[in-house]
């Protein structure tokens, strides 16, 4: 879409919005901190619900520091009437905490006196800052020119066939601030926010849907094509995920198989190696056993010779004793222990 064509369509949208809605002007006398907090509450929510939420916070809490130290769960309960209370509570708490950690105070009206760029840098550094809240603070609190666009407003532009799907994802509408001058920025922003939030909360809202159809008569076909494309992408994503899971399972099974094969081969190698080591040890032990057996055999004859010699000596001594007994007649008839070497002298007769 060319810049001139888009500018013409934006101008037509402004005209249609003025016929259907009345601008809701917020008070510009609020402190800068309240503009920040109100923007956190207003994103994707109707003005009346954001007003109610801010009033409830001011009533239930002593000051903004007490809100800062309150849990997100408790804040979400307090903001339960908003379309998305948890998201609003996160933006509120985190931005309050980030601001306190940066400037150590919630009185930040001094930023209004600074250059717009320097003041915006302070807000851009906050942890839960969104493009919508930043644009809201710029427009309402710092006096700059910006059109706050939340997801509801971007979807409204896309349904009106004024931006592409890529621009929808980027969160920007090129040429919007040039098509809407600063002196009409507050009015256009209020009208657009009312229509966008109404259609976002109810797809069949007659007023908001009528404006979109005036800009894009093929609205229903566009929505149907988008739903079909989303479904197709989801199916393709699911198939791709399933294919990846199957590939991962097959790879894991292959790795397990290879690991088991390597383990079996390793065990077999270890077994054969153990057998070889045992055989080698047995081969080394055989000569030693043979040597020990030879030594035992050589030692046994030696002991037998000594016993044989003793027996031979005893046998040789036994005949000598017999011979000596026979050769000594004087020893006949006497006990063996009484035998002497000399014969007894005979007595002389009287």
CA 320 from centre of chain: 111
Predicted local confidence at residue 44, as pLDDT: 97
Tens-level pLDDT at each residue, the chain (350 residues) = 788 899 999 999 999 999 999 998 776 678 999 999 999 999 999 999 999 999 999 999 999 999 999 999 999 999 999 999 999 999 999 999 999 998 888 999 999 888 999 999 999 999 999 999 999 999 999 999 999 999 999 999 999 999 999 999 999 999 999 999 999 999 999 999 999 999 999 999 999 999 999 999 998 898 888 889 888 889 999 989 999 988 998 888 888 888 876 655 555 565 666 666 666 676 666 555 555 555 444 444 444 444 444 545 454 554 444 444 444 444 444 444 444 444 555 555 54
pTM: 0.69
Predicted local confidence at residue 348, as pLDDT: 53
Write out the chain in H/E/C secondary structure: CCHHHHHHHHHHHHHHHHHHCCCCCCCCCCCHHHHHHHHHHHCCCCHHHHHHHHHHHHHHCCCHHHHHCCCHHHHHHHCCCCCCHHHHHHHHHHHHHHHHHHHCCCCCHHHHHCCHHHHHHHHHCCCCCCHHHHHHHHHHHCCCCCCCCCHHHHHHHHHCCCCCHHHHHHCCCCCHHHHCCHHHHHHHHHHHHHHHHHHHHCCCCHHHHHHHHHHCCCHHHHHHHHHHHHHHHHHHHHHHHHHHHHHHHHHHHHHHHHHHHHHHHHHHHHHHHHHHHHHHHHHHHHHHHHHHHHHHHHHHHHHHHHHHHHHHHHHHHHHHHHHHHHHCHHHCCCCHHHCCCCCCCCCCCC
CA angle 79, 85, 86 (to 5 degrees): 125
Closest among 160, 164, 147 to 208, alpha carbons compared: 160
Predicted local confidence at residue 309, as pLDDT: 47
């Amino acid at each position: 879409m060319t810049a001139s064509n888009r500018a013409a369509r934006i101008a037509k949208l402004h005209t249609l919005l003025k016929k259907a809605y009345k601008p809701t002007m917020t008070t510009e006398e609020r402190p800068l901190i309240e503009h920040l907090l109100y923007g956190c509450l207003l994103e994707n929510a109707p003005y009346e619900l954001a007003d109610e939420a801010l009033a409830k916070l001011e009533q239930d809490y002593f000051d903004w520091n007490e809100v800062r130290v309150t849990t997100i769960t408790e804040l979400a309960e307090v903001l339960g009437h908003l379309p998305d209370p948890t998201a609003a509570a996160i933006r509120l708490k985190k931005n309050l905490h980030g601001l306190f950690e940066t400037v150590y105070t919630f009185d930040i009206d001094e930023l209004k006196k600074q250059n717009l760029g320097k003041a915006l840098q302070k807000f851009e550094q906050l942890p839960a800052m969104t493009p919508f809240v930043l644009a809201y603070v710029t427009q309402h609190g710092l006096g700059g020119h910006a059109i706050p666009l939340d997801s509801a407003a971007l979807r409204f532009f896309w349904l009106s066939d004024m931006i592409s799907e890529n621009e929808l994802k980027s969160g920007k509408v090129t040429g919007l601030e040039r098509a809407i001058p600063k002196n009409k920025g507050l009015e256009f922003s209020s009208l657009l926010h009312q229509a966008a939030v109404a259609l976002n909360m109810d797809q069949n809202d007659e007023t908001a849907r009528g404006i979109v159809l005036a800009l894009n008569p093929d609205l229903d076909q566009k929505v149907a094509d988008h739903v079909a494309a989303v479904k197709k992408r989801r199916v393709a994503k699911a198939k791709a995920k399933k294919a990846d899971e199957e590939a991962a399972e097959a790879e894991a099974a292959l790795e397990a198989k290879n690991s088991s094969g390597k383990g079996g081969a390793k065990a077999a190698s270890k077994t054969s190696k153990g057998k070889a080591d045992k055989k080698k040890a047995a081969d080394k032990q055989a000569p030693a056993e043979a040597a020990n057996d030879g030594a035992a055999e050589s030692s046994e004859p030696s002991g037998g010779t000594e016993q044989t010699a003793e027996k031979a000596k005893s046998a040789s001594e036994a005949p000598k004793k017999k011979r000596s007994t026979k050769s000594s007649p004087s020893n006949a008839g006497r006990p063996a222990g009484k035998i002497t070497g000399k014969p007894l002298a005979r007595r002389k007769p009287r």
